[in-house]
Structure 1
Amino acid sequence: MTPDRPALLAPTRSPLWMIALAAFGLPLGILLALLVPFGEVADESAHLLRAVALMDGQIVGHREAIPFSDGSTRTTAGVTIDPAWERLSRSRPITSAYSPAPMSLDDDAAGKPAFVPLYTIGTYCPVFYVPSAIGLLLGTALGLPDATAALIGRFANLAAYFLIGLAALALAQRGRILFFCILMLPMSLSLAASFNHDSLIIATTVLAAALLSRRSPRHAGPSRRSLGAAAALIALVLLAKPPYAPLAAMLLVPLPAGRDIGRFLLRRTALAALVVLPGVFWFGYANSVVATPVPRYAYEAGPLWNGARPATFDGTDTRAQAQVLLSQPIRLLTVPAKFLFTVKHMATLAMGAIGFFGWLDKPLPVALYWLWAAGFVVPFVALAGQGEAIRRADLALLAGSALLCVWLVILSQYLSWTNVGELAVYGPQGRYLLPILPMLALAVPRLREASLAGWRCIAVAAPILMAAVSLAAVPITTARMY
């Protein structure tokens, strides 16, 4: 390092990115927690109720039969809580063109425990609800009103997000620019300033990738301690979201060259299998004991249905959807491909990853989407050729695993959320891509200590400028939304 260059401003150093995240991200997160009504973040209502239930000792949801607005009685997955929490969590009436609403939500007196359906969210592993549940517990123990206690729960989730994110930036030895951009995205901060546990999944994946980016003094890969910690973090993510299982491929890089690759792959593949196993067990348990179909108004099966007709369903049906896919196994590829590889859906996913507020119906200003796209792309263009050679085998493994992860997420939405036999896939959102992005940092070459003179300053300036613009523009936009 040349003596006349401040180490703080080097793109390979952590203090700059930690200071930038604290300076721009934390105030924005606090403002979002204060400005956004409860329930106006993606799925926050159900996530808030999971935190309430965890505070009361309900580790996971359970099944109960309740009446619905179409006159039917359905068995659904949910939790038993004081209905006052449900009313606090809901910013709008529950209405849907294709799903009947539960009849019991507004009919119970406050203070009397009642069952509230949460559907798939009732099946999630509770680990990432712990911070917000602690915040709620603190607020209620102090005798604060429910709304104030819920705000403390939001702040507790936000604090956990920033502690994990700052730790990742401190520990990473490469990929900090990408990690900073992911953590600073308006969508990430919106989730962090809510009860949605996806924010902690994103931050935890960033931390796992940061640990794996470290180089042991003895070899090119991470130390055993970093590897073990990263493996444990990925296992926690897979407990919460099993479709992210290909994230375990991060444990396989950097791939060694020469004769040692066979023994290396045997050991690391065994480790990856152990990491995936708890998520598989939880998935089996939750689906056999807790999960139930998502209610729908009665409908005729879609065009891909291969069974007898008429075929009327009154909810989602994972087994029937699996039959649809396996009747022509090529559909395991074509159904996700038709969703993913269309300009409309690709644009929607990209915008959703950057930021869609409300019930995915409150977009940010168009200029912010373009600016954030530039914030991701410009640093890597500016720093091209300033690092070690890209390891093609690592890049191929990580890119393939990322694509497989996206594929599994889309398939999971088709199996668990889409009406039987439909051509389209219901539900994939851009925010689902955010836990996948950190693994790509391990394919980014390690930077050399190069001068920041001239155009290389752009590598640092672009994402920090985007963060500053977000801090100025997002609160104003959010205030106008509500």
Structure 2
Amino acid sequence: MSGPRDAGTAARLRFPWRATFVVWALLSALSAVWALATPIGASPDEPAHIVRAASVARGQIVGTPSPDGHVVTVPEYIALTQKDTCFAFKPDVTANCPVAAPAAPGALTTATTTAGLYNPLYYAAVGWTSLLFHDSGGIYAMRLVSAVIASLFAALAFGVLRTLPGRRIAALGFAVAITPMTLFLNASVNPNGIEATATLAVFAGVLAVVIDRRPGLIWHRAVIAGVSGIVAVNARGLSPLWVFVAAVLPLVLLSGRELGALLRRPAVLTAIGAIAVGAVAALAWTLGSNSLLNAVDNPDQTPQHYAGVGTNPLTGAWLTLTRTVEFAHGVVGIFGWLDTPAPAEVYFLWAALVGLMLLAAFTLLRRRRLLLAGLLLGAFLLLPPIVQGVYITGGGLIWQGRYNLPMFLCMVVGVGVLLGESVLEGATGPGHWTTAPWASVTWRRLGWIVAVALAFGQFYSFENTLRRYTVGIGGSLKQMLVGSSPWTPPGGAAALLALFAGLCVVGVWLTLREAFGPRAPKPAPALVTPAATGLE
């Protein structure tokens, strides 16, 4: 017969679906406002991705090769996005491009896309909305669907983190990881956003299984990791690399004996099998279509050509490594066609917070946790030079900071989780279940500073970018709000700015609620014995 203790244990093992849904709704709303505030075609290569999505939705999986990319048939309003980019690379030019609206926007016509060989999974997931609309509403719908899907994986990662005993510091780490660039990419027709958040969900699921092996939660975490892995590996050509690193690195926390026992668990084997199937499908597409090297092998099939072709791999790696700080700006916020950087204060804010987290990690962590923190930092710093070094001889200098967003999310969230676990153990070892610093004034002050600073950074980035497109980078806030703006987003700039500010306030409240909420109870000894976990 079960008693109160059993009921309490069952409650503790319930996955926090309500909290996950709330975070999903908040991230989706923030990303949706970005989607409305960003002019069509105002993210890296978005016109090519829009055309690709609309063509896949109409059954054109590849199209016909040409010197300008792959030729496909799409509605005229979709094809028009190729011309609606007069502001690209010109931060002083507003988004009021002098392009006449087509007489029949839904009529089919031909268009080219440089994304014609990319994995079709993402494009099928968002492109179907273009079948429901016959004007630019179809493009905004693509963005909103992309925002909702990408936000879902980020929210699932949060839900997994919330099941961990050290969830309070992990919650602050999660808030730091969700940079303005993350929300911007979520809101763009671009697989980069979903790739990053789905990879984070894989990492969070694996890390949670390794750290907290309570059997009542293992299936939730394994399913999240498996499904997220299938989506993540099929997002972009390099995605299998990020997913592999995200799934393998947390295993360094285990001894060989523990790892062997964990790999015998059905839930773990199911997740591994799901990710493996997804990876095989992704590699089959990449190799079969030659999407990664087509520009190298067939330069006559793309208008994109990059400097540095023929450079020695070591030189390419070194050039990328020396630009690490510059590329790091890309994971915080370089918007538009990489022509609209976030304000300098925003870069300083995120550099300070991430730097403090890393300083705390390399000061407080010990043994395997310290090793994992070092590996996460190493992956973030060294994988870009390695990838660019391999590619530069045939393809030139192609690296952008946003490509490294998956590793950034994993690094920041991982360090937050490790710090949370370390603080919970306290100075006297694993047997000491201390409440410090949760009740202290210092912790509450730190939580307020971090949450408010992050909200300021998010809002300032959004306002600066919106002002750039409405009145130009040199325009004034007053002109954007009450003056005559050359370009106005759907709903108006003032309304979107107010809505985004309100959502930032909600974000502060939710972050502090998690940081100051009741601490997670210590798992009952019966739940963590070798016999119960299978780690005998």
Give the TM-score taking structure 2 as reference length. Answer: 0.64
- Give runs of aligned pairs for residues 308-347 of structure 1, distance below 5 A: 324=310, 331-341=312-322, 345-347=323-325
DSSP 3-state at the match of 2:406: coil
Please report how far the alpha carbon of residue 295 of structure 1 lies from its aligned counterpart in structure 2 after TM superposition: 8.9
8 A Cα contact 2:333 2:461, kept in partner: no
Aligned counterpart for 1:36 among listed residues 23, 35, 38? 38
**2:174 alignment counterpart:** 179
**1:368 alignment counterpart:** 346
- Give runs of aligned pairs for residues 255-334 of structure 1, distance below 5 A: 255=252, 260=257, 263=260, 276-287=279-290, 291-292=294-295, 324=310, 331-334=312-315
| In structure 2, C-alpha distance between the alignment counterparts of 1:392 and 1:335, rounded to whole Å | 30
**2:408 alignment counterpart:** 437
Please report how far the alpha carbon of residue 356 of structure 1 lies from its aligned counterpart in structure 2 after TM superposition: 1.1
**1:61 alignment counterpart:** 62
CA deviations on 1:363-419 (whole Å, 9 max, x unpaired) are: 22211211222233345657887777652443455444445532354246536642x
Aligned counterpart for 2:156 among listed residues 148, 167, 192? 167
CA deviations on 1:171-192 (whole Å, 9 max, x unpaired) are: 2235443333233x11111111
Please report how far the alpha carbon of residue 481 of structure 1 lies from its aligned counterpart in structure 2 after TM superposition: 0.6
**1:466 alignment counterpart:** 453
Aligned counterpart for 1:127 among listed residues 121, 127, 137? 121
**2:50 alignment counterpart:** 48
8 A Cα contact 2:206 2:221, kept in partner: yes
**Does 2:189 correspond to 1:195?**
yes
5+ residue gaps, structure 2, are 1-15, 90-100, 425-434, 470-536
Provide the alpha-carbon RMSD of the alignment.
4.4
Please report how far the alpha carbon of residue 137 of structure 1 lies from its aligned counterpart in structure 2 after TM superposition: 3.2
Seen in structure 2, the aligned counterparts of structure 1 residues 384 and 56 have a Cα distance that, compared at 3 Å, is: same
| In structure 1, C-alpha distance between the alignment counterparts of 2:291 and 2:364, rounded to whole Å | 52
DSSP 3-state at the match of 2:70: strand
5+ residue gaps, structure 1, are 1-12, 66-73, 97-105, 298-312, 326-330, 419-424
**2:333 alignment counterpart:** 355
8 A Cα contact 1:246 1:401, kept in partner: no
**2:505 alignment counterpart:** none
Give the partner amino acid of 1:77.
H
8 A Cα contact 2:53 2:126, kept in partner: yes
**2:499 alignment counterpart:** none
Give the TM-score taking structure 1 as reference length. Answer: 0.70
CA deviations on 1:224-246 (whole Å, 9 max, x unpaired) are: 66346424533432333343415
DSSP 3-state at the match of 1:450: coil
Aligned counterpart for 1:238 among listed residues 222, 233, 242? 233
CA deviations on 1:161-209 (whole Å, 9 max, x unpaired) are: 22222222112235443333233x1111111122112111111112112
Please report how far the alpha carbon of residue 123 of structure 1 lies from its aligned counterpart in structure 2 after TM superposition: 1.6
| In structure 1, C-alpha distance between the alignment counterparts of 2:304 and 2:33, rounded to whole Å | 39
Which moves more between the two structures, 376-385 or 471-480?
Answer: 376-385
**Does 2:48 correspond to 1:77?**
no
Seen in structure 2, the aligned counterparts of structure 1 residues 131 and 84 have a Cα distance that, compared at 3 Å, is: same
Aligned identity (percent) is: 21
Please report how far the alpha carbon of residue 83 of structure 1 lies from its aligned counterpart in structure 2 after TM superposition: 3.6
DSSP 3-state at the match of 1:80: strand
Please report how far the alpha carbon of residue 266 of structure 1 lies from its aligned counterpart in structure 2 after TM superposition: 9.2
DSSP 3-state at the match of 2:116: helix
**1:250 alignment counterpart:** 246
Seen in structure 2, the aligned counterparts of structure 1 residues 442 and 32 have a Cα distance that, compared at 3 Å, is: closer
CA deviations on 1:12-71 (whole Å, 9 max, x unpaired) are: x99989867855x5554233222211011111111111221122122x323333xxxxxx
